Amino acid sequence: MTDILATWGGWAPVIRDDPFGHFAEARAQCPVQRVRLADGHPAWVVLGYDAARHALNDPRISKDMLAALQDNGDVVAGGLPGPEFSRHMLNVDPPDHTRLRRLVSRAFVPSRIAALESAIRGIARNLLDELDAAGPHAAVDLIEGYAYPLPFGVIGELLGIPVPDRPRLHGWFQVLLTEWAGDPPPEAVEASDGIVAYLAELVDAKRQSPADDLVSVLVAAEDDALTTQELLSSLFQLVVAGHDTTASLIGNGVVALLDHPGQLQALLADPGQLPAAIDELIRFTAPVPHATFRVTTEPVTLDGVEIPAHEQVLVSLGSANRDPGRFPAPDVLDIGRGDGTNLGLGHGIHYCLGAPLARLEARVAFEELLGRHPGLRLAVDRDALAWARGDGLVLRGLVSLPVVLGPQPARARSRSRPASGMTMSDPSNQSDPSIQGDTEMAITDSPVSNGVNVQALLGAREALSASPEAAQFTWRASCTWRNGTHSHSTVAGFTGLGAEQQHRTTYEFDVDHPECFASEDNGATPVEYVLVGLVGCLTAGVASVAQHRGIQLRSVTATIEGDMNVLGILGGDPDVRNGFEAITVRFAIDADASRDDLEALIAQSQKRSAVFDIVTNPTKILVELA
């Protein structure tokens, strides 16, 4: 064993603050290696992208911490607040995982997340007002004053934590999530005890007086679908995951942009790049450098390396997202990077349920901060920054970020909402009198026959259920609607399926609607029916809404790309849910209309489209207008 892998974690500040060179050196040796963690426990660290993606979605690599501790009490350190608080969806397998995720997902439906934008923007502006009170040339701590309290305030709203209680709870979590070596210090134990006691009191209060919040929803499910241990564990996990990772993304992202002034200026010049920039900042800055606890239930081979049963597995998301085999020039920050999905928010059934909320919070945080203070700069030397928040493995964030905000441009002082082409759920659209919720819209009244071969679908489900690894693939589908009812569709980048299913790399056809999508004579697979059906529905929806709003379209192209598990689409595995993950939808519209009109057009078609309902629960989805 070489020195670089003698101990994984607990690194000296020079590695802790910039671990990516360390990751690259270890990955170059072998993408899967046995290590010893800083707490003394042995583990296997997975460093390469392909191996990491496989590990995150392999059912033989379990998340059930309590079961693992029963098999081997020394497989992992219990940590604080202890194993009894680990019975949440991140630490269980199906069917418990399915049940818990379904309960919690009620708070993360797209409509509820979109409705939070106004509150998030209000919190962000109030926090910036407080920082601005120090003066444009004063040094302020962007972590303490903005990056941390913003998502903590949002998760407080979502859970229904009373406002007067939040500072106390905030303080406890700050202590608990501060790095330490060896056994937990007394102040961390005290903070943990305070959190446990408070959450129990909060649950009791919601039992007595339920409200419109997630704690009340979970309390209502208690006994029937949720044990008290699962309830308290889930609340603890939601608070941690709901604020610390987003706070780290904001802080790390600000530093990365200041380190790369060219990228910052490109973002300031075109705020429409912000959704893609957030993806790149997740990849580049690794707010979650490693996935949470996993253990093998039987021998598993990853990238040619066999990991024995009952061994802890640590998936290094930060290393996988810098793998040059997956991302060209991985150590370069490029907000225009189009290299596809990174693993920063996970993969598979444990993909981050709160990803849409985290993306919304980050988008608003950067819009408000950079819109008001485009000239902000560090108030200390770059080398003085310390990434000592969290353990350096699962959490990686700054302890503080001293900056000088600088004077505000005149347009920022007006507190107007930043113009942004990526905001598809602008609350201002709700007052548009041309959006009428009950108006029936249709291109044609003729019946639609899509030629789907039901027997082929059932056969595919049976075959893929017997070989689930063949159900995973990456895809890109687009449809261009032209001349009223004619469309041209393409499925490209069709990679990852087993050899029996992957019969072509590109599939395309022209159709005249309503006899739409594909027929058996086209030779399409059931999967291609699904992909083309999705993009066809999206373009048809936009065309229909445009007709209703009196917008003359010359063409509209919808492109969807992402990852899919066919078993989810075909109903062959209930734990896969809808089968979609990491979906990006892009519209390119040629029409006689302003950008504001086009954004409102897409927003209304999004609300009316069942396709968005299909792919957004529980999938993350990014909607862009070219």
Tens of pLDDT along 253-293?
A: 999 999 999 999 999 999 889 988 999 999 999 999 999 88
Q: Which of 58-62, 194-198, 322-326, 427-431 bottoms out in mean pLDDT, i.e. has the lowest?
A: 427-431
Cβ-based neighbours of 78, under 8 Å, separated by 6 or more = 69
Q: Is residue 309 helix, strand or coil?
A: coil
Q: If you average pLDDT over each of 271-285, 338-352, 493-507, 603-617, which comes out highest?
A: 271-285
Phi, psi torsion values for 611, nearest 5 degrees: -60, -45
Q: Domain ranges in the chain? A: 83-422, 447-625
Query: Which has the closest alpha carbon to 236: 76, 89, 348?
Result: 89
In angstroms, the CA 28 to CA 319 distance is 11
Burial 225-253 (b: 16+ CB within 10 A, else e): ebeeebbbbbbbbbbbbbbbbbbbbbbbb
Q: Report helix angle 117-132 to 355-372, nearest 10.
A: 40
More confident residue, 156 or 102: 156
For the chain, give the mean pLDDT: 76
Q: Which of 395-404, 565-574, 593-602 bottoms out in mean pLDDT, i.e. has the lowest?
A: 565-574
Query: Which has the closest alpha carbon to 60: 270, 229, 296?
Result: 296
Is pLDDT at 477 greater than 80 in this prediction?
Answer: no
More confident residue, 363 or 231: 363
Q: Which of 39-48, 219-228, 431-440, 513-522 bottoms out in mean pLDDT, i.e. has the lowest?
A: 431-440
How many helices (H) and strands (E) would you count in the chain? 23, 16
Is pLDDT at 123 greater than 90 in this prediction?
Answer: yes
Q: For the chain, how far is it from start to end, CA to CA, in angstroms?
A: 50
DSSP percent split of the chain into helix, strand, coil, nearest 5: 50, 15, 35
Residues of the chain with pLDDT > 90, as a percent, come to 32
Give one DSSP letter per residue of 557-575, joined into a string. Answer: EEEEEEEEEHHHHHTS-GG
Burial (CB count within 10 angstroms: exposed 0-12, middle 13-18, buried 19+), residue 406 = middle
Q: What is the pLDDT of residue 5?
A: 63
Tokens of 88: 């949440």
Q: Give the Å distances, CA to CA, from 343 to 288, 357, 463, 480, 620.
A: 10, 17, 28, 30, 13
505-512, long-range: CB within 8 Å, 24+ apart, which pairs?
A: 510/486, 511/486, 511/487, 511/536, 512/485, 512/486
In angstroms, the CA 378 to CA 98 distance is 44
The two beta strands, 580-591 and 42-46, are unpaired
> In 351-486, which residue ranges form alpha helices assigned H by DSSP?
355-372, 410-413, 454-466
Q: What is the pLDDT of residue 416?
A: 42
Give the side-chain half-sphere CA count within 13 A for 69: 15
Is pLDDT at 307 greater than 80 in this prediction?
Answer: yes
The number of beta carbons lying within 10 Å of the beta carbon of residue 185 is 13
Query: Which has the closest alpha carbon to 226: 90, 87, 112?
Result: 87
C-alpha dihedral, 53 to 57 to 63 to 67, nearest 10°:
-130
Q: What is the pLDDT of residue 526?
A: 52
Task: Tell me the per-residue pLDDT of 530-578, one tens digit each, with 9 for 90 and over.
Answer: 666 677 777 777 777 777 777 777 777 877 776 666 566 555 555 555 5
Is pLDDT at 343 greater than 90 in this prediction?
Answer: yes
Q: What is the pLDDT of residue 72?
A: 65
In angstroms, the CA 114 to CA 238 distance is 19
205-211, long-range: CB within 8 Å, 24+ apart, which pairs?
A: 206/160, 211/160
* 8 A C-beta contact, residue 388 and residue 401: no
Is pLDDT at 251 greater than 90 in this prediction?
Answer: yes
Phi, psi torsion values for 590, nearest 5 degrees: -105, 110
In angstroms, the CA 128 to CA 619 distance is 31
Whether 447-625 and 83-422 are alike in CATH topology: the answer is no
Give the side-chain half-sphere CA count within 13 A for 82: 9
In angstroms, the CA 395 to CA 19 distance is 13
> Which CATH architecture does the domain made up of 447-625 adopt?
2-Layer Sandwich (3.30)
Q: Per the omega criterion (within 30 degrees of 0), is the bond before 330 cis?
A: no
Average pLDDT of the segment spanning 78-102: 75
Which CATH superfamily groups domain 83-422? Cytochrome P450 (1.10.630.10)
Residue with structure tokens 């009952």? 310
Task: Tell me the per-residue pLDDT of 19-46, one tens digit each, with 9 for 90 and over.
Answer: 999 999 999 999 999 998 887 888 999 9
In angstroms, the CA 172 to CA 192 distance is 7
In angstroms, the CA 625 to CA 469 distance is 34
Beta-bridge partners for 479:
489, 558
* 8 A C-beta contact, residue 532 and residue 477: yes
Burial 27-50 (b: 16+ CB within 10 A, else e): beebbbbbbebbbeeebbbbbbbe
The number of beta carbons lying within 10 Å of the beta carbon of residue 421 is 18
Residue 33, H or E segment: strand 32-36
Is pLDDT at 415 greater than 80 in this prediction?
Answer: no
Task: Tell me the per-residue pLDDT of 503-513, one tens digit each, with 9 for 90 and over.
Answer: 344 555 555 44
Q: What is the pLDDT of residue 531?
A: 66
Q: Per the omega criterion (within 30 degrees of 0), is the bond before 94 cis?
A: no
Phi, psi torsion values for 37, nearest 5 degrees: -75, 165
More confident residue, 472 or 40: 40
Look up residue 103 and give its amino acid. L
- Going by pLDDT thresholds of 50, 70 and 90, the confidence category of residue 597 is confident
DSSP state of 621: E
Tokens of 403: 């900056």
- Going by pLDDT thresholds of 50, 70 and 90, the confidence category of residue 324 is very high
In angstroms, the CA 364 to CA 369 distance is 8
Task: Tell me the per-residue pLDDT of 184-212, one tens digit each, with 9 for 90 and over.
Answer: 778 888 888 888 889 889 989 998 988 88
Q: If you average pLDDT over each of 90-104, 255-269, 460-474, which comes out highest?
A: 255-269
